[in-house]
């Protein structure tokens, strides 16, 4: 005769078996995933977001999925944030902090186990005036939210977010750019300039680039290190308010079929990750150098010129002897 404990155990197993067979399974729903979200953005620059909205349900489509993007408040006054996209959207700006809620509207239905992709760029404008102190500001979070009214999906609303760092901000000033107004073939000419970091942030990777034609080739540099091919010169660290002066020697090389030309040359100053004023301060005035070459390609100081002078002298002596 079975014991009381054995009877209770058999009853418990009988109850447990049908319960396990009818366990509740999640119907699936929406999710939002950011593909390689950016980590920083430059003042005056932009960075791209790619959001994938997926429907994990195996049987139910998500109807009329709506996507919104929360754009955070500007990191410093005057540096507005905005989004651009090939898709259609409308934004409402908060009068309190300047943040925005941008609605991309319905992305259509997302089939069971399907997905939709939304791509947009986040733009960080340069402030209208140079800040008095170096900003160290976070940008974010940028929040992407997807919602469907379809019943039976769980969750019916999902979101993903990403926080950015605003890169340091500095303005460069290229001044005192000097060079010769004229030069001769094969002559080495010198250009000099002063680059100033107007701030407000220090620059650790400042560069200056000599922009000219292939008719001028690199010879040497003083006060700076230059790439002979690109004429991009490394300044290195340039603290806010500091200046550096340097010079670059270039050699004139006209092709055989060219006897004269005007070579324009100008200087640009830059720093990776730092905003410069692309319209004025970081671009120097252009120096136009008129270059000429002696007729026939000869030079009075070259070997051909010396031979010509010797022949002329011999001819004069010969004529004097015949008339004596």
Q: Which of 86, 160, 164, 81 is nearest to 118 (CA)?
A: 86
Tokens read off for 300: 């009075």
Res. 232: pLDDT tops 90: yes
What single-letter DSSP state applies at residue 8?
H
**Quick one: pLDDT band at residue 294, thresholds 50, 70, 90?**
low
Write out the two tokens for 46: 């932009």
Q: Is the pLDDT confidence value at 92 over 70? A: yes
Of residues 91 and 304, more confidence is placed in 91
Q: How confident is the prediction for the chain on average, in pLDDT?
A: 82
What is the C-alpha to C-alpha distance for residues 126 and 206, in angstroms, rounded to an integer? Answer: 19
Residue 14 pLDDT level (bands cut at 50, 70, 90) = very low
Residue found under tokens 């729903």: 29
Residue reference for tokens 């100053």: 269
Q: Token pair 């680059």 is at which residue?
A: 195
In sequence order, which residues have a C-beta less than 8 Å from that of residue 165 and are 6 or more positions away?
39, 40, 41, 137, 138, 139
Please report, for the chain, how many H helices and E strands are present, in that order.
2, 20
Do residues 241 and 202 touch, judged by C-beta distance below 8 A? no
**Structural domains of the chain in order of their starting residue, each with its CATH number:** 29-166 (2.60.40.1530), 170-294 (2.60.40.740)
Supply the pLDDT for residue 132.
80
pLDDT for 322 beyond 60: no
How far is residue 200's CA from residue 7's CA, in Å, rounded to a whole number?
83
How wide is the angle at C-alpha 104 spanned by C-alphas 79 and 68, nearest 5°? 70
User: In the structure, what pLDDT confidence band is assigned to residue 282 with cuts at 50, 70 and 90?
Assistant: confident
Reported confidence tier of residue 75, pLDDT bands at 50, 70, 90: confident
CA dihedral 179, 181, 185, 188 (to 10 degrees): -20
For the record, the structure tokens of 237 come out as: 């660290």
CA gap 275, 319 in Å, rounded: 74
């Amino acid at each position: 005769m079975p014991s009381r404990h054995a009877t209770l155990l058999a009853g418990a197993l009988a109850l447990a078996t049908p319960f396990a067979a009818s366990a509740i399974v999640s119907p699936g729903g929406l999710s939002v995933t950011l593909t390689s979200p950016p980590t920083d953005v430059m003042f005056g620059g932009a960075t791209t977001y790619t959001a994938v909205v997926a429907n994990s349900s195996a049987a139910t489509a998500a109807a009329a999925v709506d996507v919104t993007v929360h754009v955070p408040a500007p990191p410093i006054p005057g540096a507005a944030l905005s989004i651009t996209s090939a898709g259609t959207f409308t934004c409402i700006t908060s009068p309190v902090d300047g943040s925005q809620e941008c609605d991309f509207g319905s992305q259509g239905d997302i089939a069971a186990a399907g997905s939709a992709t939304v791509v947009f760029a986040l733009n960080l404008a340069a402030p209208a005036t140079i800040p008095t102190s170096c900003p160290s500001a976070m940008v974010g979070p940028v929040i992407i939210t997807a919602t469907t009214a379809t019943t039976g999906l769980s969750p019916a609303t999902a979101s993903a977010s990403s926080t950015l760092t605003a890169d340091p901000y500095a303005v460069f000033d290229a001044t005192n750019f000097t060079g010769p107004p004229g030069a001769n073939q094969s002559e080495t000419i010198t250009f000099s300039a002063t680059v100033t970091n107007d701030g407000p942030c220090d620059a650790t990777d400042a560069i200056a680039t000599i922009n000219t034609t292939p008719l001028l080739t690199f010879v040497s540099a003083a006060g700076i290190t230059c790439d002979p091919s690109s004429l991009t010169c490394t300044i290195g660290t340039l603290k806010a308010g500091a200046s550096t002066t340097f010079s670059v020697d270039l050699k004139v090389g006209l092709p055989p079929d060219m006897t004269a030309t005007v070579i324009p040359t100008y200087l640009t100053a830059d720093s990776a990750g730092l905003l410069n004023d692309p319209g004025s301060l970081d671009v120097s005035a252009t120096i136009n150098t008129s270059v000429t070459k002696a007729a026939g390609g000869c030079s009075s100081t070259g070997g051909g010129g010396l031979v010509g002078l010797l022949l002329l002298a011999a001819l004069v002596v010969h004529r004097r002897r015949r008339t004596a």
